């Protein structure tokens, strides 16, 4: 008798386009009950999916996820693969509508684990009302890769596109919550660093939060501070918008556990990735209203205005330090940590 699929491990045949792959795909697609509007969807197992999209500008984004370890406090690769892509759509002002999923799996990978990660991904899609519309599964030999890689492509529709280059002098800069949680949670989990208290990744889909900000109006620019953290996001926004940005260090929310461990390791929390935050530029007349709206949502409870865009220091970020000094917050050369997303 055949073992239940959940006790099996991935073999080369699971990616070989035959009966075994069909059986795997059939079981996995039950995790995704949501259907997008369109003639051809996931259930049809056709060569592609078709979509009927609502009026607006279509936004497309893609990302491959190689996080190590695959599970970490606060999330796993499935939640990350869905949230990362949803969040890139969200910060462009787009409501997530559909997602595709490419799986590359190492031979011997437990199918129960795979199902767990896909359930996390499905949960995020349910939360934002987006559907998985098509996917692909490939298997590589044992030792030819490290476990599991997930690629997601997101499709969203925006009434008005928001760019990371839209800041104008005078705009207030909002961060929607504490920074550095994701990068530090993954690092601590990977290296087995004992943590005082708890450090959990902030990985979450931020569309519901962003939608609130957009409904108030006055949003001029947005970016999700992922690799390179807040420092990279602010520098990119300043450069592309042709403005300077000043931020007050004491206003930037950092959890004490994250700050403590970052100090110990000699890393700036401002360079560590977030996966459930947005940097939002808002015209000064709407900034307080947007901040209040964000704070009413659980993901935005700790949102803060951390600074503003200025006409001087174009392309630069000026950090007003805790002790009253001023220095440029530099663009990091790269993320201090590999494989955090």
Which residues of this chain interact with Mg ion, rule CB under 5 A? 88, 224
**Minimum CB distance to Mg ion smaller for 14 or for 277:** 277
CA–CA separation, 301 and 255 (whole Å): 13
Q: Is 83 helix (H, G, I), strand (E, B) or coil?
A: helix
Whole-angstrom CA distances from 234 to 2, 8, 258 are: 55, 46, 20
User: Which helix H or strand E contains 262, and what residues bound it?
Assistant: helix 256-265
**Minimum CB distance to Mg ion smaller for 88 or for 171:** 88
**Nearest distance from residue 19's CB to Mg ion, in Å?**
40
**Nearest distance from residue 223's CB to Mg ion, in Å?**
6
**Minimum CB distance to Mg ion smaller for 137 or for 241:** 241
**Minimum CB distance to Mg ion smaller for 88 or for 113:** 88
**Nearest distance from residue 92's CB to Mg ion, in Å?**
9
**Minimum CB distance to Mg ion smaller for 28 or for 90:** 90
User: Which helix H or strand E contains 236, and what residues bound it?
Assistant: helix 229-241
**Minimum CB distance to Mg ion smaller for 87 or for 134:** 87
**Nearest distance from residue 224's CB to Mg ion, in Å?**
4
**Minimum CB distance to Mg ion smaller for 100 or for 137:** 100
| Residue among 219, 238, 243, 282 nearest 93 (CA) | 219
**Nearest distance from residue 265's CB to Mg ion, in Å?**
25
Q: Is 129 helix (H, G, I), strand (E, B) or coil?
A: coil
CA–CA separation, 101 and 152 (whole Å): 5
Backbone angles phi, psi at 319, to 5 degrees: -100, 120
**Nearest distance from residue 150's CB to Mg ion, in Å?**
17
Name 65's bridge partners: 150
**Minimum CB distance to Mg ion smaller for 224 or for 335:** 224
**Nearest distance from residue 175's CB to Mg ion, in Å?**
14
**Nearest distance from residue 59's CB to Mg ion, in Å?**
12
| Residue among 315, 117, 80, 309 nearest 205 (CA) | 80
CA–CA separation, 83 and 267 (whole Å): 25
| Residue among 2, 68, 62, 6 nearest 31 (CA) | 6
| Exposure b/e, 147-162, CB count within 10 A at least 16 = b | bbbbbbbbbbbbeeeb
Query: DSSP code of 109?
Result: -
Collect all residues with Cβ–Cβ distance below 8 Å to 89 and sequence separation of at least 6.
Answer: 59, 61, 95, 96, 154, 155, 156, 207
Backbone angles phi, psi at 11, to 5 degrees: -120, 170
């Amino acid at each position: 008798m055949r073992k239940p699929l959940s006790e099996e491990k991935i073999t080369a045949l699971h990616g070989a386009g035959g009966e075994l792959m069909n059986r795997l795909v059939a079981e996995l697609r039950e995790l995704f009950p949501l259907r997008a509007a369109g003639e051809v969807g996931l259930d049809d197992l056709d060569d592609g999916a078709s979509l009927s999209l609502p009026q607006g500008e279509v936004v497309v984004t893609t990302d491959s996820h190689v996080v190590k370890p695959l599970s970490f406090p606060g999330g796993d690769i499935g939640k990350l693969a869905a949230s990362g892509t949803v969040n890139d759509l969200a910060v462009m002002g787009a409501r997530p509508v559909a997602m595709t999923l490419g799986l590359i799996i190492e031979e011997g990978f437990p199918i129960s684990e795979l199902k767990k990660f896909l359930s996390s991904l499905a949960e995020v899609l349910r939360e934002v009302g987006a559907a998985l519309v098509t996917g692909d599964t490939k298997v590589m030999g044992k030792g030819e890769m490290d476990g599991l890689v997930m690629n997601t492509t997101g499709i969203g529709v925006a009434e008005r596109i928001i760019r990371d280059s839209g800041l104008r002098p005078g705009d207030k800069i909002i961060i929607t919550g504490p920074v550095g949680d994701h990068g530090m949670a993954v690092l601590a989990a990977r290296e087995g660093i004992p943590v005082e208290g708890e450090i959990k990744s902030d990985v979450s889909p931020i569309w519901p939060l962003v939608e609130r900000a957009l409904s108030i109006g006055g949003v001029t620019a947005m970016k999700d501070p992922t690799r390179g953290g807040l420092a990279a996001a602010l520098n990119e926004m300043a450069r592309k918008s042709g403005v300077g940005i000043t931020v007050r260090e004491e206003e930037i929310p950092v959890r004490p556990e994250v700050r403590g461990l970052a100090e110990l390791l000699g890393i700036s929390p401002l360079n560590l990735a977030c996966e459930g935050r947005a940097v939002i530029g808002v015209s000064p007349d709407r900034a307080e209203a947007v901040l209040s709206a964000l704070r009413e949502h659980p993901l935005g409870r700790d949102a803060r205005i951390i600074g503003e865009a200025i006409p001087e220091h174009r392309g630069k970020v000026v950090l007003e330090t805790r002790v009253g000094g001023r220095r440029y917050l530099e663009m990091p050369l790269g993320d201090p940590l590999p494989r955090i997303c």
